[in-house]
Amino acid sequence: MRLTQEEKDILAGKQGETLAKIMKTIVDFGDVFGATKLVEITHPSHFVTSFGIGLLKPLFRTMDEIISAGITTKQPFTVDPRPIDYTNVKCNMLEKLVFSKIMYSQQKRYEEQLKKIGLKDEASFTCTSYFEEVGNVPAYGDILGWAESSAVVYANSVIGARCNRNSGMLDLFSAIIGKVPYFGLLTDEGRKADWVIELKTSKLPEAHVLGSAIGLKIMEDVPYIVGLDKFLGKEITEDVKGYLKDMGAACASNGSVGLYHIDGLTPEAKEKGKKLIKKEAKVYTITDKELEKVYRSYPVLWKNEKAKPKLCFIGCPHLSYPQLEMWAMNIIEGLKLRGRKKVAVRTILTTSPQIAEKFSGTELYAQLKKTGAKVSSICPLMYTNNPIASKKPIITSSNKLRTYSASRFYKNDDILKVITGGKL
Ligand code: F3S
């Protein structure tokens, strides 16, 4: 890779040993992927590592070294959600013990480290930093060094920013250097579509199942989706943002999709149209039958398939404001319909701290609280991904959470039925 004199000097240690090691990591990473140069990051970072898991010893050591060297990120950054929220996601004594002494024993230390190197503020823990309420919103064409897969695919696709699927710590290092290697999704060529997805369904598909079908089929490629604008319209409204967030997260976790284009809707597809499709692009047709096949293929990982659900998580990635309102209204209405006052399954709606705060002052929240459902800014995956929680029959409407945990996936209507006391 071609480096500028300043970059070479940093690599040679002229600005200290720590910065030299950070630069070396970025350059080595770029070389592996055939990057030609480093380019400047034009927007604040978002980190994927938000959890103080005791096992991540090299991370905490590296953070200490960075802090001792007086190094900070170029701009304040946001970070993924916390793994614990004892107020809204109650734990028993044993769970508390496992979380605080074993799983997340370094949480406090790590959050202190994040603050010292440039964390934006205490409320910056969410995977949906790109929503206006949170405020880490890139613009079209911005170059990013993010790593959270659901945020990367959203920023690339819905906003038109440019970001590779980086790893944890690489997001940290590039936020310090202020540069990322130029390859892949940063280039015009890398943003062209390898697949045309023809959507031929009778109605708007469930976002999580559609994303899952695409991810499972095309893995790390770029899709150009035709036919979705018929259902979503031609503008990225607040409702459309929520849908695309969920669809993208499923593409990015069932495959490793970092960018999708939607004909007539997403910014680059609107600008360049079908010119974005590579000549040799393959075609995948999605019908109602195909989606049902994908949905039916999800394994049930509970010990007892017939167990009664004990906990329900909705909001992975974190819910947008309209999604939170919609779920609250649906739960309240669903309970009324069945003559119930309380949810039948302990239900947690997860959203960013900013949206939770905004929602907490509303009449709708007051009504939701009476049903027993809670609003939290926890990461459900971090909560469920441990030997105790993974034994619980947990249900979710998130395909990403299903993919990475033993939680059981239900479509939106079905999960609403379950939590409001109906029978499937
Ligand atoms: Fe967000 Fe945690 Fe899901 S980071 S996307 S809530 S796994």
| 9-23 pLDDT per residue, tens | 999 999 999 999 999
User: Are 19 and 142 members of one domain?
Assistant: yes
User: Are 39 and 175 members of one domain?
Assistant: yes
CA-nearest residue for atom 2, ligand 1, is: 379
219 part of a folded domain: yes
Cβ pair 197, 224 in contact under 8 A: yes
| 344-380 pLDDT per residue, tens | 999 999 999 999 999 999 999 999 999 999 999 999 9
What is the reported pLDDT for 116? 98
170-177 helix and 17-32 helix, angle to the nearest 10 degrees? 120
User: Are 116 and 44 members of one domain?
Assistant: yes
Q: Is 298 exposed, middle or buried (0-12, 13-18, 19+ CB in 10 A)?
A: middle
Pocket test for ligand 1, best of 130, 401, 403, 409 (most atoms within 8 A of CB): 401
Q: Which of 162, 186, 210 is the last residue of a domain?
A: 186
Pocket test for ligand 1, best of 314, 379, 382, 404 (most atoms within 8 A of CB): 379
pTM for this prediction: 0.98
What is the reported pLDDT for 424? 79
83 part of a folded domain: yes
316 part of a folded domain: yes
What ligand 1 atom has the least distance to the C-alpha of 128?
Answer: 1
For residue 32, the domain's CATH number is 3.30.499
The span from the CA of 124 to the CA of 41, in Å, is 20
For residue 330, the domain's CATH number is 3.30.499.10
Instruction: Find out whether the beta carbon of 95 lies less than 6 Å from any atom of ligand 1.
Output: no
| 228-268 pLDDT per residue, tens | 999 999 999 999 999 999 999 999 999 999 999 999 999 99
Q: Which of 271, 296, 321 is the last residue of a domain?
A: 296
Pocket test for ligand 1, best of 46, 49, 89, 127 (most atoms within 8 A of CB): 127
Span 332-351, average pLDDT: 98
User: Are 107 and 152 members of one domain?
Assistant: yes
What ligand 1 atom has the least distance to the C-alpha of 148?
Answer: 4
263 part of a folded domain: yes
User: Are 253 and 390 members of one domain?
Assistant: no
Instruction: Find out whether the beta carbon of 381 lies less than 6 Å from any atom of ligand 1.
Output: yes
Span 105-120, average pLDDT: 97
**Six token digits for residue 363:** 């009449």
The span from the CA of 318 to the CA of 353, in Å, is 10
User: What sign has the CA pseudo-torsion 248, 121, 48, 317?
Assistant: negative
Cβ pair 384, 313 in contact under 8 A: yes
What is the reported pLDDT for 390? 78
What is the reported pLDDT for 287? 98
Residue 389 has pLDDT above 90, yes or no: no
119 part of a folded domain: yes
Span 323-334, average pLDDT: 98
The span from the CA of 224 to the CA of 261, in Å, is 5
Ligand 1 centre distance from Cα of residue 58 (Å)? 23
CA-nearest residue for atom 3, ligand 1, is: 316
User: Would you place residue 408 in the very low, low, confident or very high pLDDT band (cuts 50, 70, 90)?
Assistant: very high
What ligand 1 atom has the least distance to the C-alpha of 404?
Answer: 7
248 part of a folded domain: yes
User: Are 77 and 155 members of one domain?
Assistant: yes
What is the reported pLDDT for 154? 99
User: Are 226 and 284 members of one domain?
Assistant: yes
302 part of a folded domain: no
What is the reported pLDDT for 320? 98
398 part of a folded domain: yes
Give the number of domains in the chain.
3
> What ranges make up the beta strands (E) of 276-373?
277-287, 311-319, 346-351
What is the reported pLDDT for 203? 98
Rounded to the nearest angstrom, the gap between the alpha carbon of residue 58 and the centroid of all alpha carbons in its chain is 24
User: Are 209 and 178 members of one domain?
Assistant: no
What is the reported pLDDT for 76? 98
Which domain, by its residues, includes 206?
195-296
Residue 182: how many CA atoms within 13 Å on its side-chain side?
A: 12
User: Are 182 and 204 members of one domain?
Assistant: no
User: Are 175 and 322 members of one domain?
Assistant: no
| 151-189 pLDDT per residue, tens | 999 999 999 999 999 999 999 999 999 999 999 999 999
User: Are 278 and 132 members of one domain?
Assistant: no
Residue pointed to by tokens 């910014």: 267
**Six token digits for residue 350:** 């997860």
**Six token digits for residue 241:** 């943002």
Residues 6+ apart with CB under 8 A from 132: none
* Mean pLDDT estimate for the chain: 97
User: Are 220 and 325 members of one domain?
Assistant: no
Q: Which of 152, 186, 220 is the last residue of a domain?
A: 186
